[in-house]
Amino acid sequence: MVLLRKYLPHLVLALGAIPMLLPFYWMLLTSFRSPAEIFDVSLWPIPKNFDAVENYARAAGQVPMARFMLNGVIVCLGILIAQVLTAVPAAYALAKLRFPARKLMLSLVIAALCIPMQALALPLYVGLAKTDLLNTYFAMMSPFFLSVFAIFLFHQSFRSYPDEIIEAARIDGFSEMEICWGLVLRGSLPSLAAFAVFSLVAHWNDLYWPMIVVTDTNLAPPPLGMLFFSDVESGANYGALMAGATIITAPMVVCFLFARKHFIAGLTMTGVK
Amino acid sequence: MQPQSLQLSGIRKGFGADDVLKEIDLSVRPGEFLSLVGMSGCGKSTLLRIMAGLETPDSGTVSIGSRDVTNVDPSDRDLAMVFQSYALYPHMSVRQNIATPLRMRNLSLGARLPLIGRMTAKASVLSKIDAAVNEAADVLQIGHLLDRKPAQLSGGQRQRVALARALVRSPAAFLMDEPLSNLDAKLRAHMREELSGLHRRLGATFIYVTHDQIEAMTMSDRIALMSSGRIEQLGTPDELYQQPATVTVARFIGTPSINLLPVEIDASGRVMALGRPLGVSVPARYAGPAMLGIRAEDLRPAAGGFAVKVLRSETYGADRYVTGHLADDQAVCIVMRQAAGDPIAVNGEGLSHLVFPEQRAHLFGADGNRIETTVPARIAI
Amino acid sequence: MSAIELPLAQPVKARPRRSAADRRMARLGLMFAAPSALLLLGFYIVPMIVLAVFSVTDYQLGALSTRFTGFDNFTKAFHDPVFLRALKNTVIYAAIVIPLGVCLALGIALLVYGRKKSRAFWEVAYFLPVTATLVAMATVWQFLLHPSLGPVNAAIKAMGYEPVSFLSNPTLLIPTMAMIGVWQVLGFNMVLFLAGLTAIPKDLYEAARLDGAKSAVDRFFIVTWPMLGPTTVFVVVTTSISAFKVFETVAVLTRGRFGSETLLFDLYLEGFEYSNTGYAAALTLLFLLIVLVLSIGQMWHMDRKVHY
């Protein structure tokens, strides 16, 4: 009875974890199995024929999997760099500099926080279509160059930076750029790390916008590539399909396992704001 | 409820490798105000939490009155506790906060539910609770705050609410864990008076944890001074001040701190201070190095005293603290307290000669324990 | 967000003559804010205006002429069986995801919070779905739930029941997708609840014990539940907003077949597959309205936080 009380929470958690982890297990297992074993529904971890190489080769051969991954990296990094470059100075100005229309801009940023990207997709799509920019990296990245969330987050974080240090730095002859990037941002590195995780994960996993502006397979980021891939395979070769899913899911999951604290902080940042 | 006594015997507690409490025996008399005082980390809070049942001792027993409560849940010990952070429920009004201990004890689970509870609870019980809350609020003069939330109160007001919540059900004893440490100095002095007054009016058993010797000295009937998991001395504030049992107690109690001079006890039991024999003697078995403790107010300038290099003097209105070090040993700091009008008597080299009544000096052996001295006559060194 | 000072609340001060340093700071401020301000204009403000204009026209991308149609698009939406079905589906989806996603997450968080050594392990196990690419995982779920090839139906058959066609029986489609939605959101909500639990002072539990709250249930109702109030409101709001944005699972599992469109998927079809830009703009505004109403809940949550 005492033993039961002690281990009951573990038991309940373990039972709950089964459905949570089953998809990952099944994905990996199937990606190792040969197509002949497809009717084998057992969860026995050791496949009869170890066909991982063939499956992964097929996933990489059938569709340009490497290309999808590269696209994902280009788009995610491009977006992140642009977001940081635009948001940090703006947040610094809003937090520490007095300039006309500052309050107006702050109100607009907060208002924009409530507007989901999906609501803006239509006019942005029309604009990109009119300027003949569909099916470009620019089309995939440009709506995210400005992250009002990043401005808001950095603004909150920068505000607590002591004014005295900024004034001392000005007297010491630092330029405003140096103060912004070299002093103030350095004091907010945890926010920067959390935001980077937030942004990278969000855009690596995003399907909606790429699906709208990209039809060219060679430009597809991983989720869209996955969709193309499952269309091509249409259920014929689950081994290769699961290999593809593993390749796409792996980067974020591996990063998560290695930087658990940062990931949780980054992804739940919306929760603590 | 009659005030209850509280006994601890053989209490040990360790966290990991550290022994926080080493064999504590303590008996709190019914209706007394007992302070547990000591530096942070001396184990005083742990001891209080063991009394409350929030920690379980590794060995030893706790009893309240004649009842062994060592394995009794905190909710059944009939104790009330005031926390350093006050631990008020932030979502409840002051009235609800004070009523909680009564509601938990007198209403069933169903009757405590929001909405449904109001219908099922017995009206007579509810009106009794209401009356008790109002009475407790009157005692602490917070009747006008009953409908506010804790966040809308000042620190001193929260303190009163925490006290009201504790006294609303007349517990066997009150446990207080540094309840005044979050208040500013002026309010703290005021609340000290109020707490003493409350104790007198209620006649209840108070066990009060503090690191502030002034709080302990001013309010307590008895003080248990703790140091590294042991009770160094248990006694009235006067006893601790006049007859410190160890050098730790002597150091801790009194402002400014007691002056401690290194002395030597020779084979014949004479006490050699600064190369001269003191006019006191001790049994020869104490031979070896020792410490002589002299309170700052016992020093006064006089010819023929020991030489002190005076460094500065600070005047606090009626009092003056004169600080310096031994002329022969810079490492030994000396503070003299005198009336602000008295002369400091410093010679051309900045030296002052000080004397003290030897029967008022305290002698401590190398192990830190008090050594009783016999004083044949009053002689200045 | 509770720390935002609403700009309007600040007192208006008489403006003294501005010094050279003030002017320099104003110039720098404008310079620093300019890139973001321009992007804000180009990617938020102008599109919002354009969206509003589209919604009262019959504009179609590539069409030669466009007419002003007033509120026709909105009236049409409420007579459009596809839109109404999408709305209904989304509401059913949300009605499953919100209670399950919040209550289960709270339960898991309470269990995980009490574990000392194994806490990190359980956190990882339950949080993993949050980091995984939903499109890929939806594909895996499709396989898992396959009527003949998937282990879930194999287990059902082994227990002697008929296999369940989760992904082709129209009545099961939305609940199935909702279960995947719960699977994905649990870890996220669990972590939010864990943060909420960590923020509750230990003193309060101890005070409650001395006040007579003997059982864990009592302490839950007297301390945990009220103290988690703000967290719970927040979790409910974020869960509902994300539930109304469900898209990936539909895109992977059904492509809107068998009448399984959701709000966002219908919007996608109208706006980008059928190029009914004007009509889609009206639907977008309705979608935005729902999200904004839910966000007001969040504002309310922030207000309440002030009293704590």
pLDDT in tens, C42-58: 999 999 999 898 888 88
Mean pLDDT over C35-41 rounds to 91
Looking at the structure, tell me whether residues C84 and C177 fall in a common domain: yes
Looking at the structure, tell me whether residues C79 and C203 fall in a common domain: yes
Q: Are A143 and C63 spatial neighbours (Cβ–Cβ below 8 Å)?
A: no
Closest CA to B276 of B348, B341, B326, B313: B326
Looking at the structure, tell me whether residues C28 and C101 fall in a common domain: no
Inter-chain residue contact A12 with C115, CB threshold 8 Å: no
Inter-chain residue contact C308 with B90, CB threshold 8 Å: yes
Q: Which residues of A touch C247 (CB under 8 A)?
A: 118, 207-208
Which of A88, A122, A209 would best serve as a mutation to test chain C binding (most C beta carbons within 10 A)?
A122
Out of A71-85, A219-233, B106-120, pick the least confident.
B106-120
Looking at the structure, tell me whether residues C32 and C169 fall in a common domain: no
Closest CA to A83 of A203, A182, A180: A203
Looking at the structure, tell me whether residues C102 and C234 fall in a common domain: yes
Looking at the structure, tell me whether residues C146 and C254 fall in a common domain: yes
Q: What are the DSSP E strand ranges found in A131-252? A: none
Confidence of residue B267 (pLDDT cuts 50, 70, 90): confident
Task: Show which residues on chain C lie within 8 Å of chain B, measured between beta carbons.
Answer: 201, 203-204, 206-214, 217-218, 221-223, 226-227, 229, 307-308
Which of B94, B100, B182 would best serve as a mutation to test chain C binding (most C beta carbons within 10 A)?
B100
Kindly give, in sequence order, each residue whose CB lies less than 8 Å from that of residue B378, ignoring residues fewer than 6 positions away.
Answer: B279, B357, B358, B359
Mean pLDDT over A192-206 rounds to 88
Predicted pLDDT at C7: 45
Shortest CA distance from C48: residue in chain A: A120
- Spell out the domain ranges in chain A: 71-220+251-272
Looking at the structure, tell me whether residues C51 and C148 fall in a common domain: no
Q: Which of C36, C127, C148 sits opposite A146 (nearest CB)?
A: C36
Q: Which residues of C touch A253 (CB under 8 A)?
A: 128, 131-132
* B154: CATH: 3.40.50.300
- Token readout for C117 is 């050594």
* C249: CATH: 1.10.3720.10
- The residue range of the domain holding C50 is 17-55
> To 10 degrees, what angle do helices A148-159 and A189-205 make?
170
Longest dimension (CA), chain C: 86
Q: Which of C212, C221, C307 sits opposite B75 (nearest CB)?
A: C212
Given strand B259-265, what is the order of strands in its sheet?
Answer: B276-281, B270-273, B259-265, B288-294, B362-364, B370-371
- Token readout for C25 is 């700071």
Q: Is residue B118 in some structural domain? A: yes
Confidence of residue C308 (pLDDT cuts 50, 70, 90): very low
Looking at the structure, tell me whether residues B210 and B339 fall in a common domain: no
Mean pLDDT over C284-297 rounds to 86
Q: Is residue C3 in some structural domain? A: no
Looking at the structure, tell me whether residues B168 and B306 fall in a common domain: no
Count of domains in chain C?
A: 2
Q: What is the per-residue DSSP string for A85-128?
A: HHHHHHHHHHHH---TTHHHHHHHHHHHHTS-HHHHHHHHHHHH
Closest CA to C43 of A138, A263, B199, B347: A138
**The pairing of beta strand B300-316 with beta strand B288-294:** unpaired
Shortest CA distance from C201: residue in chain B: B87
Predicted pLDDT at B117: 59
* Higher-pLDDT residue of C110, A235: C110
Looking at the structure, tell me whether residues C84 and C50 fall in a common domain: no
Predicted pLDDT at C301: 57
Inter-chain residue contact C206 with B83, CB threshold 8 Å: yes
**The pairing of beta strand B270-273 with beta strand B333-339:** unpaired
Looking at the structure, tell me whether residues B94 and B198 fall in a common domain: yes
Looking at the structure, tell me whether residues B286 and B142 fall in a common domain: no
Chains B and C touch (3+ CB pairs under 8 A): yes
Inter-chain residue contact B100 with C223, CB threshold 8 Å: no
Closest CA to A156 of A253, A270, A256: A270
Shortest CA distance from C107: residue in chain A: A13
Q: Is residue C8 in some structural domain? A: no
Q: Which residues of C touch B149 (CB under 8 A)?
A: 307
**Average confidence score pLDDT of chain C:** 83
- Token readout for C307 is 């009293």
Predicted pLDDT at C3: 44
| Chains sharing 3 or more CB pairs under 8 A with chain C | A, B
B vs C: CB pairs below 8 A? 70
Looking at the structure, tell me whether residues B273 and B151 fall in a common domain: no
Shortest CA distance from B83: residue in chain C: C203
pLDDT above 60 (res C197) = yes
Chains A and C touch (3+ CB pairs under 8 A): yes
Q: Is residue B275 in some structural domain? A: yes
Chain centroid offset of residue B90 CA: 29
Looking at the structure, tell me whether residues C151 and C199 fall in a common domain: yes
Q: Is residue B178 in some structural domain? A: yes
Q: H/E/C letters for each residue in chain B?
A: CCCCCEEEEEEEEEECCEEEEEEEEEEECCCCEEEEECCCCCCHHHHHHHHHCCCCCCEEEEEECCEECCCCCHHHCCEEEECCCCCCCCCCCHHHHHHHHHHHHHCCHHHHCCCHHHHHCCHHHHHHHHHHHHHHHHHCCCHHHCCCCHHHCCHHHHHHHHHHHHHCCCCCEEEEECCCCCCCHHHHHHHHHHHHHHHHHHCCEEEEEECCHHHHHHHCCEEEEEECCEEEEEECHHHHHHCCCEHHHHHHCCCCCCEEEEEEECCCCEEEECCEEEEEECCHHHCEEEEEEECHHHCEEEEEEEEEEEEEEEEECCEEEEEEEECCCCCCEEEEEEECCCCCCCCCCCEEEEECCHHHCEEECCCCEEECCECCCCCCC
- Token readout for C275 is 């190029």
Q: Is B33 helix (H, G, I), strand (E, B) or coil?
A: strand
Closest CA to B51 of B171, B220, B181, B179: B171
Cα B77 from Cα B174, distance rounded (Å): 11
Instruction: Tell whether C43 is within 8 A of chain A (Cβ).
Output: yes
A vs C: CB pairs below 8 A? 289
Predicted pLDDT at C103: 94
Looking at the structure, tell me whether residues B236 and B327 fall in a common domain: no
Q: What is the ipTM of this complex?
A: 0.84
Beta-bridge mates of residue B206: B33, B174
Looking at the structure, tell me whether residues B16 and B124 fall in a common domain: yes
Looking at the structure, tell me whether residues C32 and C139 fall in a common domain: no
Mean pLDDT over C157-182 rounds to 85
Distances (CA, A) of A42 to A47, C147, C149, C150: 10, 15, 10, 9
Predicted pLDDT at B239: 92
Count of domains in chain B?
A: 2
- Token readout for B202 is 């209620």
Predicted pLDDT at A75: 92
Q: Is residue C7 in some structural domain? A: no
Distances (CA, A) of B327 to B330, B350, B354: 7, 10, 11
Q: Select from B214, B242, B270 the last residue of a domain.
A: B242
Looking at the structure, tell me whether residues C225 and C153 fall in a common domain: yes
Q: Is residue B376 in some structural domain? A: no
**Average confidence score pLDDT of chain A:** 84
Tens-digit pLDDT profile for residues B6-56: 999 999 988 877 788 888 999 999 999 999 999 888 889 999 999 999 988
Looking at the structure, tell me whether residues C160 and C277 fall in a common domain: yes
Q: Which residues of C touch A27 (CB under 8 A)?
A: 136-137, 140
Tens-digit pLDDT profile for residues C129-156: 988 888 888 888 888 888 877 888 888 8
Predicted pLDDT at C217: 85
Cα B235 from Cα A60, distance rounded (Å): 83
Which CATH superfamily, name and number, covers A71-220+251-272?
A: MetI-like (1.10.3720.10)
Please give the helix or strand (H or E) that residue B128 lies within, else none.
Answer: helix B123-139
- Any idea what the Cα angle at residue C43 is, between residues C40 and C49, rounded to 5°? 100
Tens-digit pLDDT profile for residues B313-369: 888 888 889 999 888 888 888 899 988 888 777 887 888 888 888 878 899 988 889
| Chains sharing 3 or more CB pairs under 8 A with chain A | C
Q: Is the bond preceding A47 in cis, omega lying within 30 degrees of 0?
A: no
- The residue range of the domain holding B233 is 6-242
Q: Which residues of A touch C148 (CB under 8 A)?
A: 39
Q: What is the per-residue DSSP string for C209-245?
A: HHTT--SHHHHIIIIIHHHTHHHHHHHHHHHHHHHHT
Cα C212 from Cα B101, distance rounded (Å): 6
Q: Select from B179, B213, B242 the last residue of a domain.
A: B242
Q: Is residue C68 in some structural domain? A: no
Closest CA to B208 of B238, B175, B230, B235: B175
Confidence of residue A82 (pLDDT cuts 50, 70, 90): very high
Q: Which residues of C touch B84 (CB under 8 A)?
A: 203
Closest CA to B215 of B194, B189, B197: B189
